[in-house]
Amino acid sequence: MLELTRNGAYLKCSAVHVATGVEVTAIGPATERHGLERIASAKLKRALLSR
């Protein structure tokens, strides 16, 4: 699950693995939505592999 929260010129993308509750975030410029989604997804995959 991905959640996007905008705060002014910044965007926070949170990625959560529902089954395990593992959550990661990526923060960057609001104009780079797809890049932040990609980064958050990659961070979540890496977090799950390290468990």
Q: What is the model's pLDDT at position 17? A: 98
Q: Give the closest residue to 43 by CA, choosing from 21, 17, 27, 25.
A: 25
- Rounded to 5 degrees, φ, ψ at 49 are -70, -30
Give dist(CA 7, CA 1) in Å, integer: 20
pLDDT tens digit sequence for 17-43: 999 999 999 999 999 999 999 999 999
Kindly report whether the global pTM for this prediction surpasses the value 0.85: yes
Give the DSSP H/E element, type plus range, for residue 37. Answer: helix 33-49
